Amino acid sequence: MNSPPGSNRSTDPPLHWSTVGIRKPRLLIMMIALLLVGGLSSYMILPRMEDPVLTARAATISTRFPVADAAQVEALVTDRIEKAIREVEQIKEIRSQSRSGASLITVELRDDVYEPGPIWSRIRGKVEDSIAFLPAEASRPQFDEIDVRAFAWIGALTWAQDSEPNYAILGRFAKDLEDRIRAISGTDDVSQFGKPDEEIVVEVDQSRLANVGLSAVDVADSIRGDDARNAAGTLRSDNESIAVEMANQLNSVEAIRQLPLKNSGEQGNFVVIGDVAKVERTIADPPAELGQMNGQAAMLLGAMVRNRSRIDTWRAELGDVVDGFRAELPPAIELVDVLDQNQYVQGRLSELLGNLAIGSLAVLCVVWLLMGWRNALMVSMALPLVSLAVLSGMRINETPIHQMSVAGLIIALGLLIDNAIVIVDSVSSQIRSGKSHLQAVSATGRILAIPLLASTLTTAFAFAPICLMEGPAGEFVGAMAMNVVISVASSLLLSLLIIAPLAAMLDRIGTRDQTSAAGVRPGFLKPVFERIVLTSIRRPILTAAGCAALAAAGIVSMSMLPMQFFPPADRDQFHIEVELPPNASFAELKTLTNEISKELGNNPRVQQSTWLLGRTAPAFYYNIITNRLGAKNYAHGIVQLDSKKDGSAEIRKVQRDLQTRFPEARLLARQLEQGPPFTAPIELRFFGPNLDVLRELGEKSRKLLSGLEDVVHVRVELNDSTPTVQVDVSTEDAQLAGLRPGQIASQINAQLDGAVGGFVLQQTEQIPVRVRIAGHQRANFEDLNQLSLVFPSADGPRQIPLSAVADLKLKPTTATVARLNSIRMQEVQVFLQAGTLPSKVQAKLQSKMKEVGWTLPPRYSMEFGGESSKRGEAVGNLMASVGILIAAMITTLVLSIGSFRGAVVIGAVAMMAVGFGGASLYLFGFPFGFMAIVGIMGLIGIAINDSIVVLTALREDEAASAGDEQAILRVTLHETRHVLATTFTTIAGFLPLILAGGGFWPPMAIAIAGGVVGCTLLALVFVPSSFGWLVRRKQASAESAPAMIRRPIEVFRQHSVT
């Protein structure tokens, strides 16, 4: 920037506050030392993790109601609990699934809730209040918060030999390892998975039991009566008191076998349980959950780290514990790592920090070429200094080091360098104009402090919507935006207080040659550029129209881009969901997952597969939500690949191969997604009262979706049905036998599922004793018909088959009744091939629905869920504060520039920058998603920064502010160097992210690096052209004014900003 040299020092303005560093070098050294100490200590202390921690805003309420079908569970359990909790105003959404024998309600809190603890307490209280209105047969509702964190480490204890696995031994070793991990400093929680419940099964023989006139219920009652665990009182005397306890407590399988049931009538002999039943300790049948790894039985342990602990330090200590534990294992048991989050954290952060280092080096080279090595040295100092300041800010804000917080530094690279470039260039110019080093720093601060503050504030306002955005998406990217704000603010302060004084001090050292001072010369390009700028100044309307047309084309092209909320994760893991029909047995599921494991083992890229049968796998990624528990027809697998290379293609291949090999199952090979979780990429939700109509809508949707490309599977929730045996008791026949339907139901339940009679306590484990008939006597419809019922008679207990008092019918029943906010819902979940954009498939679906003339019956409605719903919520939260921040941005521009017209020019630059960013995305073929939005916001900041500096230079030049075309050209050419430096440094800084590939960073990097080229055009062509046009227009207006007011206008013009 050129400023008239001040030859008369007595008239010099007072020194600017930015000269404190050059006036007091010791203070300058102290500031640098403080940054070093604060930044480096923060780096050592700050916790590290792969992704940001999200607030746990979801919880489940599960209730068992064994004797009811789905409709009864909905009416008698689900609806009553929902009515009770609906009174809590912080609830955003209530989803429920009523299945035969069970109710599952998922509660989600509003996005503005950040301290959910007190609200969960209120909801627990409401659930407790609802218990009084539930049926007596229903269990106590169980409330569980859903933890949205991922485990830091998951290990699998596998049974590594061909014999039948001993889960009791596996369990003991798992408990030992759990205790050791809990003792590690920084461990938050340790959970076991795949551990089947053990029980002692008394499997009675119907015929033998009939001979003694007893039922399974009688046997269970007898065992319970012999298991005396209640207190027997206390002996008290004047001297002491002694507790009395019963010694008749069950403590082994053999003790149960020897329990007497009935006097045989022969010489005082008793019939013992071992005479009529087989007694053994085994796992529950079917088990609630079971673990497998590569086809072998396994139990999984997952460990979580406290949020404020360093995962690398914790993992090193865990490694020592695990290695020591492995050395103590017997040959039959192995411990295998399933997940090591530290490996991904270090890899992700190393990659980002490497990109930051390469980008910084590229920036240094570009600045060296354009501004010379002296200036490049000073500009490059901004990078480490600002990084240290940001680390200190992260420590104050309690922000961990993860991919998003590091990304904030990468995004701010071009922005923070801009301030340093402008400051260093201005100091050099002031020195060359004849000012002393102290005056040069003072003049730079006085001229640039307010404009750069304005550009910093406008950049902060551009990113503020992300900082203020509520909900999971805001928490996911909020640290990135906050670090950008801290970076640009730190850059302004450090450039004025440290960089400017250092640049002046460096100028004192040695002689200043042309290369070190000015960098490379433009050569033959300068005359061409001069003609372009001069032409634009002389033809401002055409220039503005051309720039606006280019920006408009970019905005139009942006509207044609496919939408993508967040891209898939680049990871060497994926997961597989397996679902059999609702009536499938657990044994079928186990056989199927073994076969799938073998099939995966034949794939050379698959290293291992770990399965949990009956429930969702442990959260090995932060948005894997546990939403399936106790599902005997469901299994969830974690598949480890050899690398993340071509992950989408490999997942598509696995999906194709498994679906062909196992057509009887619903198989989904799913890529890991980033951002807030959703069940399916596309969800159609139909709402209405009648289940039959909802089923028809679901089936109609399934047929429509079956013809769409890239659709792997369509799950229609309400259309799943399960066969049910209906026992129709003849009350007359039952009364003749002295039985009632309720008694018959109890006897059937005891013989099929078993009646619990006491328990055996071993160490801290309580093992129930379950009595039921033998498996081969309860396997099919005919066995149920011949089931023996015991009834009283004058001659003693007698037995009759169930068929004598009841008719049995097989009928289909609704497997699930789903509701959203207490309204019945049919949800159609659409799963896609890995790498397919949901927005494209959804657009095709909507087009197809329009073609067929899709209509809904009266009182029925439809909405889309899945990715589009989450995207809409996030964008809505993002835009919630945009209006206020735009007003603040405009106010800042008007106050700093001193003119509404100048603020309009800068505002036009900001709007056109959006178009250039969109054009870059379109040209390079990237979808429009959240990271693209972040990139465009960063691009707006760069465009505003450059334009404000150019506009400030024009207004500071007396001839240019008078409208002189040559003066405007001269000032613009002078500012070109630092504008081009900003452009090339931005491109160089983001080039590593672009070349690294993947789906997460390139859209953001392309939006900024590509769009900055157009923003350079705006700063160097549109801004000078518009400035000259506004000045000339103002002069014409003043000249046409009456003479009496012309002179005041001329005086005002000398002191105003156009």
| C-alpha to C-alpha distance for 388 and 376, rounded to whole angstroms | 19
Residue 722's pLDDT is 76
- pLDDT, tens digit, for every residue of 414-468? 677 778 888 888 888 888 888 888 888 888 888 888 888 888 888 888 888 888 8
Is 213 a domain residue?
Answer: yes
Q: Are residues 988 and 934 in the same domain?
A: yes
Only one residue has tokens 């050379």, namely 604
pLDDT at 517: 52
How many whole angstroms separate alpha carbon 670 and alpha carbon 713?
11
pLDDT tens digits, one per residue of 866-875? 888 888 888 8
Do 847 and 780 fall into the same domain?
A: no
Rounded Cα gap, residues 748 and 754, in angstroms? 9
Beta carbons within 8 Å of 184's beta carbon, 6+ residues apart? 314, 317, 318, 321
Query: Which pLDDT score is estimated for 333?
Result: 94
Q: Within this chain, do residues 705 and 838 fall inside the same structural domain, yes or no?
A: yes
For residue 520, give both structure tokens. Answer: 């490379």
Asked whether the beta carbons of 444 and 500 are under 8 A apart, the reply is yes
- H or E element in which residue 41 lies: helix 25-45
Distance of CA 518 to CAs 187, 429, 507, Å? 56, 10, 13
Same structural domain, 113 and 249 = no
pLDDT of residue 1058: 43
What is the C-alpha to C-alpha distance for residues 855 and 343, in angstroms, rounded to an integer?
52
Q: Which pairing describes strands 798-801 and 806-814: parallel, antiparallel, or unpaired?
A: unpaired
Residues 394, 482: Cα–Cα separation, whole Å = 9
Report how far apart, in Å, the C-alpha atoms of 599 and of each of 166, 297, 606, 659 are: 26, 17, 10, 11
C-alpha dihedral sign at 862, 868, 869, 875: negative
Residues 881 and 1028 placed together within one structural domain of the fold: yes
Q: Is 156 left (phi over 0), alpha (psi -120 to 50) or beta?
A: beta
The answer to whether residue 679 is domain-embedded is no
Residue 256 lies in a domain: yes
Q: What token pair was written down for 510? A: 């040695």
Strands 563-564 and 928-929 turn out to be parallel
SS3 1034: helix
Q: What six digits make up the tokens of 755?
A: 């009646």
Pairwise CA distance, residues 243 & 241, whole Å: 7
For residue 933, give the amino acid letter. Answer: I
The CATH number given to whatever domain includes residue 779 is 3.30.2090.10
Q: Are residues 713 and 851 in the same domain?
A: yes
Q: Is residue 507 a contact partner of residue 431, using CB atoms and an 8 Å limit? A: yes
Between CA 65 and CA 76 the distance in angstroms is 9
Q: Which residues face 725 on adjacent strands? A: 810
Distance of alpha carbon 427 from alpha carbon 517, whole angstroms: 11
Q: What is the SS3 string spanning 560-610?
A: CCCEECCCECCCCEEEEEEECCCCCCHHHHHHHHHHHHHHHHCCCCEEEEE
Q: Give 247: exposed, middle or buried? Use CB within 10 Å, 0-12, 13-18, 19+.
A: exposed
830: containing domain: 684-720+816-863
The single residue listed with the structure tokens 């196992």 is 662
The CB density around residue 565, as the number of other CB atoms within 10 Å, is 28
| pLDDT tens-digit series, residues 86-111 | 999 999 999 999 988 889 999 999 99
How far is 630 from 615, CA to CA, in rounded Å? 6
In this structure, is residue 807 part of a structural domain?
no
Residues 957 and 1056 reside in one and the same domain: yes
Do 779 and 843 reside in the same domain of the chain? no
Q: Do strands 765-773 and 198-204 pair parallel, antiparallel, or not at all (unpaired)?
A: parallel
* Distance in angstroms between the alpha carbons of the first and the last residue of the chain: 18
453 and 561 share one domain: no
How many domains are contained in the chain? 5
Q: Decide: 194 and 299 in contact? Cβ < 8 Å.
A: yes
Query: By C-alpha distance, which of 507, 836, 534, 531 is closest to 671?
Result: 836
Residue 609 lies in a domain: no
Give the type of residue at 359.
G
User: Residues in the chain with pLDDT < 50?
Assistant: 1-10, 511, 514-515, 1044, 1049, 1051-1053, 1055-1058
Q: What one-character-per-residue DSSP string does 652-703 give?
A: HHHHHHHHHH-TTSEEEEE--B-SS--SSSEEEEEE-S-HHHHHHHHHHHHH
Of 834, 863, 892, the one marking the end of a domain is 863
| Residues 938 and 1004 both lie in one domain | yes
CA angle (737, 743, 748) in 5-degree steps: 100
Q: What is the predicted pLDDT for the residue at 9?
A: 47
- Judge whether 610 lies within some domain: no
The residue behind tokens 């019956």 is 857
Half-sphere exposure of 1055 (CA within 13 A, CB side): 4
Distance CA 930, CA 566 (A): 6
With respect to residue 175, please indicate whether it lies within any of the assigned structural domains: no
CATH number of the CATH domain containing 66: 3.30.70.1430
Q: Which of 719, 748, 741 lies closest to 813, judged by CA?
A: 719
Same domain, 243 and 389: no
Distance CA 944, CA 893 (A): 10
Q: How far apart are CA 462 and CA 468, in angstroms?
A: 11
- Kind and range of the H or E run holding 957: none
Supply the CATH number for residue 834's domain: 3.30.70.1320
Whether residues 512 and 533 share a domain: the answer is: no
CATH label of the domain that carries residue 1000 = 1.20.1640.10
Residue 934 is assigned to a structural domain of this protein = yes
- At 610-630, the pLDDT tens digits run 999 999 999 999 888 777 877
Structure tokens given for 404: 């998003």
Of 117, 147, 177, the domain-final residue: 147
